[in-house]
Amino acid sequence: MDVTELLESASLLIPEEIATENDITVRDVWDYLAHDEWETALGLLEELGDGHPLSLTFWEQLAKAAEELRLERSTAWCHWRCSEIRNGMIRADLTLRPATEARRKTPFSGHGVLRPMWDIGNLSPTGGTSVSIAGLWVEDMPFLEPGGRATVRLIPLTPSHWTHVKTGRRINMHEDRTVAGTAVVLEVHLPATAMPRKPQ
**What distances in angstroms separate CA 173 from CA 15, 24, 74, 194, one per listed residue?**
38, 37, 26, 22
Choose which CATH entry (3.40.50.1100, 2.40.110.10, 2.40.30.10, 2.60.120.700) describes domain 88-194.
Answer: 2.40.30.10
**Strand 170-174, strand 179-189: pairing:** antiparallel
| Domains of the chain, residue spans | 3-86, 88-194
Write phi, then psi, for 162 (nearest 5 degrees): -105, 5
Q: Are strands 89-96 and 179-189 parallel, antiparallel or unpaired?
A: antiparallel
Q: What is the pLDDT of residue 21?
A: 84
Condensed to tens digits (0 to 9), the pLDDT of residues 131-146 reads 999 999 999 999 999 9
**Confidence (pTM):** 0.89
Q: Write the DSSP assignment of 121-135 as a string of letters.
A: S-B-TTSSB--EEEE
Each residue's pLDDT tens digit, 73-127: 999 999 999 999 999 999 999 999 999 998 899 999 999 999 999 999 998 888 8
